[in-house]
Amino acid sequence: MSVEVERKFLCSADTLKTLEEIGVCVGQRQFQDQYFDTPKFDLTLRDMWLRKRKGCWELKCPTTVDETSEEKSKAAALCTRYKEITNLPEIQLRVEEVMKNVCVDRETSSSQEDVEAWLSKMNLVCFADYTTVRRSFSLDEEGVQIDLDEADFGYHVGEIEVLVPEGGDVQSALEKIQRTAQKLGLTGDQRIEGKMNVYLKRNHPEHYAKLLSAHVL
């Protein structure tokens, strides 16, 4: 398990020019994301994001932030951090913990058919489905990746991302992100909306409103 620390940004023509000058493009790929939740939004209202990308399952969950050791800086406030779980049995356990009232058969097997049966048993349905074209860049800052995403519903967003092994140094990741933002000339002090925010606002305003009221988005 690792923790993804990430700052989103809007990529202006100037930022793109800087990125192309000081960064190295390390690839371009396209992927479809399908996100799942119950009709009552049991996962997303807890800020848990279950998705399937390129046939692989991932669950993003909130981390417990150690306020004593982590600086409550402006730079940190611009970043999100989530645990990323990619092991399917562990994902299933975490989801089942949330939905304790559902009786689940714990025979774990991960064939496509079994996963489909598990989804339906947990009452999980796909609520978001979109495709992203992503260009990735690296800079001279170890472990930092910069992604420029273009979603098929017309939203463009950049991300500066550092993956920290569990128990690793989040503070150092925040500093790397801050230095990278400075190199790119990013000046904004507002959190930038991710693809999901924009997708839900446009396609599922009721779900979006519930997440806003719960301070998830």
Applying CB under 6 A, the residues found at the interface with ligand V4E are: 8, 49, 60, 80, 82, 132, 159, 191, 194-196, 217
Distance CA 130, CA 203 (A): 11
Q: Which lies closer to ligand V4E via its Cβ, residue 104 or residue 203?
A: 203
CA distances 87 to 25, 53, 59, 91, 137, Å, are 29, 13, 9, 6, 27
d(CA 194, CA 199): 9
CB nearer ligand V4E, residue 114 or residue 150: 150
Query: What is the C-alpha separation between 171 and 169, in angstroms, rounded?
Result: 5
Least Å distance, CB 103 to ligand V4E, is 28
* Least separation in angstroms between CB 132 and ligand V4E: 6
Give whichever of 117 and 212 is closer to ligand V4E, judged by the CB atom: 212
Helix (H, G, I), strand (E, B) or coil at 186: coil
Least distance (Å) between residue 124 CB and ligand V4E? 15
Residue nearest to ligand V4E (CB): 194
Which residue, 108 or 166, has its beta carbon nearer to ligand V4E? Answer: 166
Q: How far apart are CA 85 and CA 3, in angstroms?
A: 9
